Amino acid sequence: MNKQGQLADFLQARRSRLLPEDVGLRTYGERRRVPGLRREELAILAGISAPYYTRLEQGQAHNASPEVLDAIAGALRLDESERAHLHALARAPRRRTPAGRTRTERVTPAISALLAAMDGTPVIVMGRRSDVLAWNRQGHALFAGHLDPRDPDDPGSRPNMARLVFLDAHTRDLYADWPAKARAVVGNLRLTAGRYPDDPRLAGLIGELTMRSPEFATMWADHRIMACDTADYEMRHPLVGTLTLTQQTLQSPGGDSPALVVATASPGSPSAAALTLLAHAVTPREVTRPPAPARPRTTH
């Protein structure tokens, strides 16, 4: 999963999705052997030489300038997330971390305090590979009520949201528009793979999902990029029924710490009432003990 290979695949996939008529090129009815623009056509649109673009797409050119990358992004009609991804893939790779030395993701005391302060709102803490590092009661009940709430405490058995979305029937049934959720998961994984091309656990997750889910394999091959920080989803929850929620991913400015995924509903809406009902359903209740029976009086 090296950057040059990812860059080549990304450029090829995005070029194949552009038709000549999309960019104002006339074809005069000629037949094409492959879909999309030719390399020479894209190079002309970007204002660079065709041989250089060919080497770049074949993974043989290194250290393309930001100006060249912006020109290619413009020719490919990339949005801001895709443009940033292109720059990340073309950036010179950092020194590799020795095998087996991947940094372990942990929940910091500050994140734990924030999670506690948001009690009553469904929240999960998610690592860059979409591992669930922690959740509050409402987050567990909303996203994975069928799992043991203690699972994130054990690094060896932590749930993984990407794996749940593609391989877990309960999670698939939660989303009325499951393909939209699935595309968002794949788009975020693409961004992460571009930032951490040498992460063996991330590569293992992608390989597992590719082998076990034909839907994931198809979406992954499409090379769509999606920085899904905020999205609305209709969820069909087994305890409180259908509700429409906004899922927001809150990330530190550096982007190198776990993220908080927060689910909220419009104030006063039926979905907000359903969230309140869910919160009450999972709030521990004090056990009221019956009064101890009075001791019989003894007489002397």
pLDDT digit string, tens, across residues 28-81? 556 667 678 888 888 888 888 888 888 888 877 777 888 888 988 888 888 887
Architecture label for domain 109-281: 2-Layer Sandwich (3.30)
Per cent of the chain over pLDDT 70 is 84
pLDDT of residue 21: 75
242 φ/ψ angles, rounded to the nearest 5 degrees = -80, 135
pLDDT of residue 99: 46
Rounded-to-integer distance, Cα 182 and Cα 231, Å: 12
pLDDT digit string, tens, across residues 131-161? 999 999 999 999 999 998 888 887 778 899 9
280 φ/ψ angles, rounded to the nearest 5 degrees = -65, -35
Rounded to two decimals, the pTM is 0.76
Is the model's pLDDT at 110 over the cut of 90?
no
Give kind and range of the element (H or E) at residue 275.
helix 270-281
Residue type, 72: I
Give kind and range of the element (H or E) at residue 135.
strand 132-135
pLDDT digit string, tens, across residues 167-206? 999 999 999 999 999 999 999 898 888 888 888 999 999 9
Pairing of β 123-126 and β 241-250: unpaired
CATH number 3.90.1150.10 is the correct assignment for the domain at 3-24+36-90: no
Is the model's pLDDT at 288 over the cut of 50?
no
Confidence at 237, pLDDT banded by 50, 70, 90: very high
Summary mean pLDDT of the chain: 84
N residues, the chain: 300
Q: What is the separation, in whole angstroms, between the first and last Cα of the chain?
A: 89
Tell me the two tokens of residue 164. 């749940």
Candidates 201, 180, 202; CA nearest to 191 is 202
Give domain limits for the chain: 3-24+36-90, 109-281
